[in-house]
A and B are shown apart, each in its own frame.
Chain A
Amino acid sequence: MKSDNKIIIVEPSPIVSAGIASFFNDIKQVSIVSQLDRIDRMEEKLAAYNPDVLIINPLLIAYDTNEQFLKLCRDFSNVIPVALVTSYVDAGILKQFKDVIEINDSKQKVVTKIFNLLSDNKLTQEKPESIELSNRETDVLVALVKGMTNKEISDKLFISIHTVITHRKNIIRKTGIKSVSGLTVYALLNNLVDETEIYK
């Protein structure tokens, strides 16, 4: 297991959130990089920190935001989603998660669960890091090569400018291509856009 595993906690109750975080205080291999009480800014944080584990209270994923959550799971497929269950949650919802932390779990039990998930994940993800662009990164790339500004991209995809910039950084890191015209060539070679859409 690598030594800097990152966790984001999304939990409405500050007491519970602080409690879970305190379990990891004295554990060197894991750091809590962000604690949120709502899911609005989750995509931004996921893009910024690229965490290993996302501990989230499923109560926050209401029926109308379930689609959004599923999409995030697909876009950030290297993040392990873990449910933090504080009251009764439908089993169908819990199926979306790799594991479940119960409100009555001991510190020992919670830490063990997370460690097991992290080492499983390492076995399946031995390759350095996915170099394939996520769906969201592809959306940003396509918008970029069509000549849209960060602001326009942020409006079109309903994400903050900050998130757009983070996606752009990840695109550069993954493709090794820094200039927009270079990325245009990349997008064309991979059939992400059509020639007629770019050169008008």
Chain B
Amino acid sequence: MADLVLGNSKLLLMFPRFGMDLGFGDHSIAEVCAMNNVSAPFFLMICNVYCNDDYTPSPDDIASVDPKALINYLLESHKYYLNERLPHIEEHLNHIIKACIPKYGNMLHRFFEEYKNEVVDHFVYEEKNVFPYLQQLVNQNVKTDYKIRVFHENHTNIEDKLSDLMNILVKYLPANVFPKERIEIALDINELSADLMSHALIEERILIPFVESLEA
């Protein structure tokens, strides 16, 4: 397990979501998964989506997914973004906002608030609609005529505003405002947007095909 992480630092963010702590010693992936009650094939599937942009799990792999584990993983990711990543960026941004002239500060503040709301809406939608629907499918007790297609089509892109913020910080905000802090934020945003990208891929390559296979 340790070799896997050392070779792919992108995966670091993933462990808390599986309830795993670092300090793997020489335990194998299978051992660590077993210790934490995580299905090793599912764990590897997520790792693969994280590390290979063009990895698509086979229909057999998809069929083997445990819906509970999948939902749990996605919920944990949402929590992590909302409770850790975004507040972290916000804290840095607030320092910049305070240092700016009020006109620019207000505007940055408003921009970030809008972004946060957008992210929250996005997650709430999934938690209120998609995940319960998946549960109903699994229990063969579907109460709505909702289809995952609808979700797929409305799956809004929450990375756009993040890249906009990056552009604003790097290109457009006057140069003399908190240079160090700005770089901190830029690094954070980079990390967050890479992780959100992987998150979207997991939904696209695992969640959606899985639900579709149940719908069929």
**Which A positions have Cβ atoms within 8 angstroms of B?**
175-179, 181-186, 188-190, 195, 199
- Does the CB pair A178–B163 fall under 8 Å? yes
Other-chain residue from B110, B165, B167 in contact with A175 (beta carbon distance below 8 A): B167
Which residues of chain A are near B104, meaning CB under 8 Å? 188-189
Which residues of chain A are near B110, meaning CB under 8 Å? 181, 199
- Does the CB pair A181–B168 fall under 8 Å? no
Given contacts A181-B161, A195-B103, A176 and B108 within 8 Å (CB-CB): no
Which residues of chain A are near B3, meaning CB under 8 Å? none
Other-chain residue from B103, B164, B171, B172 in contact with A179 (beta carbon distance below 8 A): B164
User: Can you list 20 A-B pairs, Cβ within 8 angstroms, ordered by A?
Assistant: A175-B167, A176-B167, A177-B168, A178-B160, A178-B164, A179-B164, A181-B110, A181-B114, A181-B161, A182-B165, A183-B164, A184-B111, A185-B108, A185-B172, A188-B107, A189-B168, A189-B173, A189-B174, A195-B107, A199-B110
> Which of A182, A188, A190 has the most B CB atoms < 10 Å from its CB?
A182
Q: How far is the CB of B99 from chain A (nearest CB, A)?
A: 15
A45 to B43, CA, bound (A): 52
- Does the CB pair A179–B107 fall under 8 Å? no
Q: Does B106 contact A (CB under 8 A)?
A: yes
- Does the CB pair A182–B168 fall under 8 Å? yes
* B side interface size, CB within 8 A: 20
Closest partner residue, chain B, to A177 (CB atom): B164
**Which B positions have Cβ atoms within 8 angstroms of A?**
103-104, 106-108, 110-111, 114-115, 160-161, 163-165, 167-168, 171-174
> Which of A176, A183, A185, A188 has the most B CB atoms < 10 Å from its CB?
A185
Closest partner residue, chain A, to B106 (CB atom): A195
Given contacts A176-B167, A181-B111, A181-B114, A186 and B172 within 8 Å (CB-CB): yes
- Does the CB pair A189–B172 fall under 8 Å? yes
Closest 8 CB pairs of A and B: A182-B164, A176-B167, A178-B160, A177-B164, A179-B161, A189-B172, A181-B114, A188-B107
- Does the CB pair A176–B161 fall under 8 Å? no
Closest partner residue, chain B, to A182 (CB atom): B164
A97 to B20, CA, bound (A): 70
- Does the CB pair B107–A184 fall under 8 Å? yes
Which residues of chain A are near B108, meaning CB under 8 Å? 185
Q: How far is the CB of B136 from chain A (nearest CB, A)?
A: 34
- Does the CB pair A182–B167 fall under 8 Å? yes
Which residues of chain B are near A177, meaning CB under 8 Å? 164, 167-168
Which residues of chain A are near B115, meaning CB under 8 Å? 181
